[in-house]
Homo-oligomer: A and B are copies of this chain.
Amino acid sequence: MPNNRADQNARQRPGRRRKSRKRDRKSSKPRLPYIQRNIACFDILSEEGLCLIERNADIILRDTGMEFRDDPEILELFRHAGADVEGERVRFEPGMCRKIIQASAPRQFTQHARNPDNNVEIGGNNTVLSPVYGPPFVHDIDRGRRYATLKDFEKLNKIHQMIPYLHHCGGIVCEPVDIAVNKRHLDMMLSHIIYGDRALFGALIGAERAEDSVAMVRILFGEDFVDQNTVLYAVSNTNAPLVMDDAMSGSLKVYARNNQAVACTPWMITGAMSPCTEAGTLAQLLAEALASCALTQLIRPGTPCLMGSFATAMSMQSGAPTFGMPEAAKTVLAAGQLARRLGVPFHTVGSLTSSKLADGQSQQEGTMSLIMAVLAGANFINHATGWLEGGLCTGFEKTIIDADLCGKLIGFCEGLDLSENAQALEAIAEVGPGNHFLSSQHTLDNYRHAFYRSTTADANSFEQWQSEGSQDTMLRANRIWKDLLANYEQPPIDPAKLEELQDFVARRKASMPDQAY
């Protein structure tokens, strides 16, 4: 096994060295643009179990099939490929979707960022951590919970850019509800480009907004570059059970046509949108993902697609979705295995919770959920930070506390260093029984990088903690995000490109009336 640290340093680009060294002094190791896992995935299903789920997914696709609504073009594509199309219902012979996918879908691809140091490799042993996606509300302990605005969106972008453990800009880090629904995607993309320099999400809903996303990255990266390279990442959710509507298929088609990545992610509150048993949910999830991924390859063979999984249990008392529960943990682990067998990267979700605060519940649920996503071998983890209230709210303090967990899991994924230095046999002999290692040469040589340093934990004595105001984690996190904002540095951008992007957004916004849908 290689010495991870040396290996990783070698991979580090020269351009980032100076900044990293500065960060180094106060915290731990140089930042890497994504996780290169040096640990195994956790397999919860046997070969036999996996074959059973795959067989059941094939039965579902053959007997029940999937509906693609309001999109004749897709029906024609499937018919031409040999599927059985009856009205909007599409049925597939066993193995058909898998064969289409495996013929052309890449196992791994690069998503380019506007700062090449932040390019991410999606697939293989790599994991990309991306912040929360979608909430219409934001929460911090100063102002409480409120509708989000574009100003909140910008603040979150700045905070995310300053968090070394996040690898991606993210998408709708909160919904800027002060902007018309049909224009938000333009302001959001512009905000991401201005305040961050990591890889970008494309707009989720509808062909028109997806076209806007592609138009903007063409300005940023150049037309030819975008045609040949992946610079956008987009999620495409099914409407489980077994439906895709034109809002989703519309954007999927745009991204696939343009060689941009689509994470085909059945979205399931199990018990409502899939059976209340994991084995049933997994077969349905695989069936929907197979049909969706196959669609991307029929549109443009070789375009990057991921198998996604978002399955969480419903409270059988209240009907509310629950998070961080054992059923979701088992499902994501099995889904990861199914994706690896299919041979496409695996997308899933991170530190989910139904809590309204960044309290004990939120961290018990979120930690369970994020650890399981990592153990499932996820290549892209959406919502790795900030999610509250079942996805209705982005928490500023939650973002900081979750980011600390991301840092811990990055350290965990490094695996065990077995170098001679790490074995420390000489140190053990030198120190001998009953003495301590504090002043041993080995400790002096290694202490700077020895342990992960938590940003939000208080490990001090009770008395010291009390003398400092008996702060809980939320209070400490509050100070941290304000510090990050205060120290934020805007990444440089070509002023001509920025102007062109601003013009594009202004023109597009002026070209249509405000709409609330």
Binding site for B on A (CB under 8 A): 1, 39-40, 42-46, 48-49, 52, 56, 59-60, 63-67, 89, 137, 145, 239, 241-243, 270-280, 283-284, 313-327, 329-330, 334, 354-368, 371, 375, 389-390, 392-393, 401, 404-405, 408-412, 414-419, 421-425, 427-429, 431-438, 440, 442-443, 446-448, 450-454, 456-462, 465-466, 470, 472-474, 477
Nearest-neighbour CB distance to chain B for A387, whole angstroms, equals 14
Q: Are A44 and B276 in contact (CB under 8 A)?
A: no
How far apart are the CA atoms of A404 and B276 in the complex, in Å?
Answer: 21
Residues of B within 8 A of A356 (CB): 458, 462, 465-466, 470
A452 near B280: Cβ-Cβ < 8 Å: no
Decide yes or no: A60 and B361 within 8 Å by CB, A276-B442, A416-B330, A451-B271 being known contacts. Answer: no
Contacts of A457 in B (CB 8 A): 322, 354-355, 361, 365
For the residues of A in contact with B, the DSSP-based class is mixed
Instruction: Contact check, A89 vs B462: say whether CB atoms are below 8 A apart.
Output: no
For A360, list chain B residues within 8 Å (CB).
358-360, 362-363, 401, 456, 472-474, 477
Partner of A433, one of B52, B242, B330: B242
Q: How far is the CB of A422 from chain B (nearest CB, A)?
A: 4
CB pair A272–B371 under 8 Å, yes or no, is no
Q: How far is the CB of A220 from chain B (nearest CB, A)?
A: 36
Set B278, B424, B451, B470: member contacting A422, Cβ < 8 A: B278
What is the bound-complex CA distance between A243 and B432, given in angstroms? 9
Other-chain residue from B414, B422, B429 in contact with A277 (beta carbon distance below 8 A): B422
A243 touches B367 (CB 8 A): no
Specify the chain B residue showing the minimal Cβ separation from A427: B275
Task: Pull 7 A–B residue pairs with CB atoms less than 8 Å apart, ordered by A.
Answer: A60-B428, A241-B435, A277-B442, A278-B417, A279-B419, A356-B462, A361-B458
Known: A45-B416, A389-B462; 13 extra A-B contacts, CB below 8 A, are A44-B416, A56-B425, A64-B433, A271-B451, A272-B438, A275-B437, A277-B422, A277-B442, A322-B451, A326-B411, A354-B459, A359-B363, A361-B401
Residue in chain B with minimal CB distance to A443: B276
Q: Report the minimal beta-carbon distance from A458 to chain B, rounded to whole angstroms.
A: 7
Q: Tell whether, in the assembled complex, residue B315 and residue A1 are in contact, meaning their CB atoms are under 8 Å apart.
A: no
**Is A330 a contact partner of B415 (Cβ separation < 8 A)?**
yes
Residue of A323, A427, A477 with most chain B CB atoms under a 10 A cut-off = A427
CB distance from A508 to the nearest CB of B (A): 33
Closest Cβ neighbor of A40 among chain B residues: B43
Inter-subunit contact B275/A428 (CB<8 Å)? yes
**Once the chains bind, are B447 and A276 in contact (CB under 8 Å)?**
yes
Q: Does A318 contact B44, Cβ atoms closer than 8 Å?
A: no
Q: With a CB–CB cut-off of 8 A, which chain B residues contact A408?
A: 324-326, 329, 368
**A356 vs B459: C-alpha distance when bound (angstroms):** 9
Chain B residue numbers with a CB within 8 Å of A418 are: 49, 52, 279
Within the complex, the shortest CB–CB distance from A278 to chain B, in Å, comes to 5
| B428 pairs with A64, CB closer than 8 A | yes
Residues of chain B contacted by A429 (CB below 8 angstroms):
60, 63-64
Q: CB-CB < 8 A to A321: which residues of B?
A: 459
Residue of B nearest to A320 (CB): B459
Complex CA distance for A280 and B420, rounded to whole angstroms: 9
Write out the residue numbers on chain B whose beta carbons fall within 8 Å of the beta carbon of A409: 326
Residues of the B chain whose Cβ atoms lie less than 8 Å from the Cβ of A316 = 447-448, 450-451, 453
| Most chain B Cβ neighbours within 10 Å, of A52, A322, A363 | A363
Minimum Cβ distance to chain B for residue A109 (Å): 28
| Contact A368-B367, Cβ < 8 Å, known A316-B450, A326-B452, A389-B462 | yes
B59 & A425 in contact (Cβ 8 Å cutoff) = yes
Query: Please, which residue of chain B has its CB at the minimum distance from the CB of A412?
Result: B326
- The CB with the most chain B CB atoms within 10 A, among A48, A319, A438, is that of A438
